[in-house]
Structure 1
Amino acid sequence: MTLLYSEVEEELRSAVRDLLADRCPPATVLARIENPSSYDAGLWKALARDIGVAGLLIPEELGGAGASAREAAVVLEELGRAVTPIPFLTSAVLATWALLEAGTDAARDLLTALAGGETTAALAVSFASSPYSWEAGTAPATVTAEGGTLTGRVTAVAGADVSDVLIVPASGALHAVDAAHATIEPVVSLDLTRPISTVTLTGAPARPVSADLAPLRAALELGAGLLASEQLGVAEWCLATTVSYVKERHQFARPVGSFQALKHRLADLWMEIVQARAAARNAADALASGTDAATAVAVAQAWCGEVAVHAAEECLQLHGGIGMTWEHPVHLYLKRAKADEIALGTPGDHRDALAGLADLPGPL
């Protein structure tokens, strides 16, 4: 195992970062959130066509790149740095991995369509669902299957508003439903760059893609582990932007960054982010190798979610008045960090799971 980035990973990072710098600067994202939908279809097509991110995890025989979780983690770091409004996590990671784990002919057909990025998919589960709730069977069964159709309602679904296919858990199995047969109602989301929706199915035609929910559990675990890399990207942007600002902002004829109290705060934050990088990289490597992945994912999410929120809070506060304005992009990062902290299991959910994985009894 190595937590260092390989040459291939650095080349992938450079390609994604350069494209985002050109197509998705903060001013562009700020402008997009003023629209009814922040989704940047042109950027998604460019990333899928020019870099191949849509099919990154899909095997080459199905038209994908055949890459691993490590490469996907690098992409998510860069997307987190730019709070990019595209469905990479929801379509190219969560939905794609559920279909890969299903392994059926129907799933493979969908993967071939997803590989080029022309088709997108979303898991029709609440974005706040943790992998452990599905494992324990405690997640609510809100959709039922009968006679080849699905009926029910799922709230807080991420990526549904821009998906062509929904992967829906119902009656103990996974089903694929064309989004045109569902009613998708966007709701107010904390993170304006990743909208959530309520999905309603009323006798929607469906085709089974898995006979059980094991692929869903695997997809949520992978998504949680790789979400740590997005949180790392958010935190790194916040730290770099704050350090740059306190070097330029003057008070009492001195840069405010020269004050010892601020130096200490930023040094402490840097240490937290270094640890977050190690945890996120370890989770990505464990998911790629299949070695002790559950523990690595729980550790990464127990730590990275809170670090990203702390970094965004420090960024906002140390920017002073300008940080509180709608015109400055820091609010996008704070909202993304907080939404990510809730997504795919809270840090508390992952700490509870880690206690069991490490065979450590909780407090009495």
Structure 2
Amino acid sequence: MSLTAEQQELVTTVRAVLAKHGDSAAVRRGLETERGYDEQLWKLLCEQVGVAALAIPEEFGGIGAGLVEALLVVEELGRTLSAPPMLGSAVLGVQALLLAGNAEVNERLLPEVAEGARTLALCWAGPRGWDSFGVTASGETLSGTAHYVLDGVHADTLLVLTAEGLFELDGDAAGVTRTTLVTQDPTRKLARIDFEAATARPVGRPNVNRLREIAWAAVIAEQLGAAEQCLDMTVEYTRSRVQFGRPIGSFQALKHRMADMYVLVESTRSIAYLAIAGLAAGALEPIDIQAARLHAIDTFQSVVSETVQMHGGIAITWEHDAHLFFKRAHADAQLFGAPARPLTRPA
């Protein structure tokens, strides 16, 4: 997949906004807030760039660009570790509603999501992850616990995925208890949401396999952006760090290691864009997204490990961003699960 001129312009615009308003200092300020991200940055991205509206069809108040454009934004956010409700709300929440195909619900919810005035949280995982549902439905009554919900504590609308289909209810509805989780990755807020005989509105039956593929594609895009940033950080540092009278980046051993990092990043870009393009076009081979998911996990973890090593002791201090990327790498490896190894093609 090669980017069109419009897509490249979108990437350039988002990167410029993040460079000015979403740098490391802004991300760290966001960590100290209740929501865990810079709300002003999210407002800016929604109002000036329209990121929340990208994957929403025009008939529901969106831009109607598509899933690819939304994931390009996720990739750029991965470079900075910013975690506004883009992945959880504007990608997963929106795609769950579109897959459910309920026009009345979409007409009611999606225009406000496109404006950034409403956030969605997809409640899915059971205690052991996304291979099971945490919540069960009896008629229009929900009971159980959804684990690892992105932006779940503050989302305006909860979308609950069950074996019986997708349901919708307000975040502050009776019978709903939301709890922020303490996780390895401080840059992303996850929640546990308990449902005790909570009344919800049925939405429809989305294709769960496709929703999982979209979730994997979104994390792959984020991992790609983050891994590329780690590579850039490392190259820049080795240019400025002097040892034995010369920059350490001139040492052959480190050149080889950075070359290996580059190959990992670019190979991930190739397989990621192939999978994302196929997914958006409805012509995805399942093994493509599975392979991309596994390769992105390995790439991000390998690249960030090298980043830590080549930055020496400063990379494990709170003041340096490398340890935040390290934690995101290991958290992203678990987010939405992963296909089994080794991969096998269907007969």
Matched residue, 2:73? 75
Post-superposition Cα deviations, 1:117-173, rounded to whole Å, max 9, x if no partner, equal: 11010110239845xx3xxxxx1x432323532121122222212311111123521
Name structure 1 gaps, 5 residues minimum. Answer: 134-138, 360-364
Residue aligned with 2:185, SS? coil
The count of aligned residue pairs is 343
Task: Give yes or no for contact 2:169–2:199 (8 Å, CA) kept in 1.
Answer: yes
Aligned to 1:255: 247
Residue identity opposite 1:270 in structure 2: Y
* Match in the other structure for 2:48: 50
- 1:69 CA displacement: 2.3
State whether structure 2 residue 156 is matched by structure 1 residue 164. yes
Take 2:300 and 2:64, find their aligned partners in 1: how far apart are those partners?
30
**Quick check: 2:287–2:345 contact (8 Å CA) kept in 1?**
no
Q: What are structure 2's unaligned runs of at least 5 residues?
A: none
Distance 1:329 1:255 in 2: 21
Q: CA deviation at 1:351?
A: 4.0
Q: Distance in 1 between matches of 2:63 and 2:316?
A: 42
Question: CA separation in 1, counterparts of 2:199 and 2:185?
Answer: 31
Post-superposition CA distance 1:74-131 (Å, at most 9, x none): 111100001112011111111110100111134312223322111010110239845x
| Corresponding residue of 2:121 | 122
Could you report, residue by residue, the CA deviation over 1:219-264 in whole angstroms, capped at 9, with x for unpaired residues? 2211212321111100100001100001100111111111111111
Whole-Å Cα distance in 2 between the matches of residues 229 and 301 of structure 1? Answer: 10
1:119-268 alignment runs, 5 A limit:
119-126=118-125, 129-130=129-130, 133=131, 139=132, 141-181=133-173, 182-210=176-204, 212=205, 214-268=206-260
2:4 to 6, 10, 21: 6
Q: Paired residue for 2:99?
A: 101
Matched, 1:34 2:12: no
Task: Check the 8 A contact 1:143/1:152 in 2, yes or no.
Answer: yes
Give the CA RMSD over aligned residues.
1.8
2:19 is aligned to 21
Letter in 2 for 1:13: V
CA distance in 2 between counterparts of 1:78 and 1:142 reads 31
- Provide TM-score, normalisation by structure 2: 0.94
Q: What TM-score does the superposition give when structure 1 sets the normalisation length?
A: 0.89
Offset of 1:292 from its aligned partner?
Answer: 2.3
Partner residue, 2:300: 308
1-structure distance, mates of 2:303, 2:102: 42
The answer (yes or no) to whether the contact 1:99–1:215 under 8 Å persists in 2 is no
For 1:79 and 1:4, the matched residues in 2 are separated by: 20
Moved over 4 A (4+): 127-130
Q: Which amino acid aligns with 1:107?
A: V
Read off the aligned partner of 1:149 and give its amino acid letter: T
Supply the distance in 1 between the matched residues of 2:85 and 2:5 (Cα, whole angstroms).
26
Compare relative contact order (CA 8 Å, sep 6+) and give the higher one, 1 or 2. 1
